[in-house]
Amino acid sequence: MKRIAVLGATGALLAGTIAAAPVATAGDRTAGGAAQGVSAEARGVGVAAARAAKAGVHWTDCPTAWGLKSPIQCGYVTVPIDYARPDGPSIRLAVDRVRSTGTPARRQGSLLYNPGGPGGSGMKFPTRVTSKNPLWTKMAQAYDFVGFDPRGVGHSAPISCEDPRAFVKAPKADPVPGDAADKRAQRKLAKEYADGCAQRSGALLRYMTTPDTARDMDVIRAALGEKKLNYLGVSYGTYLGAVYATLFPTHVRRLLVDSVVNPDQKDIWYQNNLNQDVAFEGRWKDFESWVARYDSVYHLGGTRAKVQQQWLGLRATAKRRPIGGVVGPAELIAFFQNAPYFDQSWPIIADAWSKYAAGDAKPLIKAAGPDYSNAATAENSNAVYTAVECNDAHWPTSWERWDRDNTALNARYPFMTWDNAWMNLPCATWTQPQHTPVDVRSHQGLPNVLIVQSTRDAATPYAGAVELHRRLRGSELITERAAGSHGVTGLVNPCVNDRVTAYFVDGRLDGHDVVCGPHAAPVPNGK
């Protein structure tokens, strides 16, 4: 699935014992010695978890450079690079926490969080407590909020595929190819990127997979001293949570997934990215309609069609001569794609666009131009995104198929199609082993899972939530209708918020699926 930078930067196991072996799946690599259908990885994660339970986490003040102030604490959990070899090379995963704010009697354990990606860091999660965000007050009384950098991310043995300054350098080529030569150039860049991953990321690269990260989560669970996991995952974090639930059903206590990746094996990951292109076009039109509604503020056109003409004109201008020398079509798309992701971004984007149309290009250049101060983080996130998606599944290697599929989609859904294609094309020439995705579904011992999804989500279309709901027996689905922001649980919508709190704090579900109205639509800044 597409990974972007958010605007503004949103089974018991006792020490000394080995947990029951998790369910073996088709996604597990096997090794000599695995017997009775239990994979070497399943054995290895039990060994690693037992060691982590004994070691615990040595919590200290976070390093100053991490920007996480007390009372947030930081530490590390050691995991094997290859779970089939638990005594082999290992890495340390960075974790942080803020302790529950309630009485000891109200504490229910730790709540682990993943924000998506692949490649997103969860280390900001405890700040939802320290910032006193009212949406999380009751949950903070019941849980320690725990974040982590997944393997390869941030402070957890970060991988790299390209020099960070080269990665953010602008302007880049227009993603929409004008001819065969443009396509050849993009194909060359994609292969060079895949080769760069192999050259720069070392032994960890082949073990950058969703199942391995799910195994890491079970080791973190053990290191936290928890018998069972409480988990909140958003976007790609929903797929990570679904894989965890499949591999470790008896280790789950409460698990909520928000804005859901379609877990069908045939959709991971090539088809999911094609499906995104269709959904992005629909949500882009929603944004244009909103801008037209506030034409008296933004002066970009009083109908969606007129706003689209403004967009095409802006794009053509940037193609002829990059704005400020650094903002071409690629940079415009990188900025404007925030609109289909988050309607909270609509006033910010429309304001920068409107000011440009009125003759002031500075806000647009600042928002869409290269950010060298964040280059290392951006490059690392993209490297992890690429590695995990390329490793998780078998991708088409035929350029003819990529060309045919994306040319056809672009004819009707041009906003994101080719940009998305080039981002994923390194997987066509990937040098590492590619695996069969985990067959996500319920197994004995899995408790009821809560699923939250908006109907017009662009990054993870609604069909994914329906499919996961079908696969996880006893799950309940909360649908936010007529809305499309990606990541529903962080928005103010009492119909959703109250049910999320009830699930985590009281273990209470409705006993049936629920449809909620949309959260409040954005309004122009200052209105």
Band the pLDDT of 50: cuts 50, 70, 90.
very high
Task: Tell whether the model's pLDDT for residue 5 goes beyond 60.
Answer: no
Range list of H helices, 32-125 = 40-55
* Closest to 478 (Cα-Cα) out of 450, 442, 447, 518: 450
Average pLDDT of the segment spanning 493-515? 98
Give burial (CB, 10 Å; 0-12/13-18/19+) of 350: buried
* The pLDDT value given to residue 244: 98
* The pLDDT value given to residue 240: 98
Average pLDDT of the segment spanning 219-246? 98
Mean pLDDT is lowest, of 16-30, 123-137, 388-402, for: 16-30
Average pLDDT of the segment spanning 103-117? 97
Q: How far is CA 17 from CA 82, 110, 332, in A?
A: 21, 21, 54
Secondary structure class of 199 (helix, strand, coil): helix
Tokens in use for 394? 């078998």
* The pLDDT value given to residue 526: 72
**H/E stretch holding 95:** strand 90-98
Secondary structure class of 133 (helix, strand, coil): coil
* The pLDDT value given to residue 14: 24
Residues 484 and 412: their CA atoms lie apart, in Å, by: 20
* Closest to 12 (Cα-Cα) out of 218, 231, 254: 218
Band the pLDDT of 359: cuts 50, 70, 90.
very high
Which residue has better confidence, 25 or 46? 46
Predicted TM-score (pTM) of the model is 0.94
Task: Tell whether the model's pLDDT for residue 317 goes beyond 60.
Answer: yes
Residue with tokens 């040319």: 407
Secondary structure class of 27 (helix, strand, coil): coil
Q: Which residues are catalytic?
A: 235, 457, 486
Residues 13 and 426: their CA atoms lie apart, in Å, by: 40
Band the pLDDT of 114: cuts 50, 70, 90.
very high
Tokens in use for 324? 């400020």
Task: Tell whether the model's pLDDT for residue 11 goes beyond 80.
Answer: no
Band the pLDDT of 38: cuts 50, 70, 90.
confident
* The pLDDT value given to residue 7: 40
Residues of the chain above pLDDT 90, percent: 92
Task: Give me the phi and psi of 279, to 5 degrees please.
Answer: -70, -35
Band the pLDDT of 396: cuts 50, 70, 90.
very high
Tokens in use for 139? 């949950």
* The pLDDT value given to residue 1: 58
Radius of gyration for the chain, computed over Cα atoms and rounded to the nearest angstrom? 23
Task: Tell whether the model's pLDDT for residue 36 goes beyond 90.
Answer: no
Band the pLDDT of 22: cuts 50, 70, 90.
very low
* The pLDDT value given to residue 37: 57
Mean pLDDT is lowest, of 5-9, 60-64, 286-290, for: 5-9
Task: Tell whether the model's pLDDT for residue 29 goes beyond 80.
Answer: no
Mean pLDDT is lowest, of 24-38, 336-350, 357-371, 385-399, for: 24-38
Q: Do residues 28 and 39 touch, judged by C-beta distance below 8 A?
A: yes
Return the amino acid letter for 224.
L
Average pLDDT of the segment spanning 287-316? 98
CB contact burial 24-33 (16+ within 10 A = b; e otherwise)? bbebbbeeee
The chain-wide mean pLDDT, for the chain, equals 93
Q: What tens digit of pLDDT does each residue of 190-203 get?
A: 999 999 999 999 99
Average pLDDT of the segment spanning 268-289? 98
Average pLDDT of the segment spanning 80-106? 98
Residues 80 and 89: their CA atoms lie apart, in Å, by: 6
DSSP string of 366-397, one letter each residue: HHHS--GGGHHHHHHHHHHHHHHHHHHS----
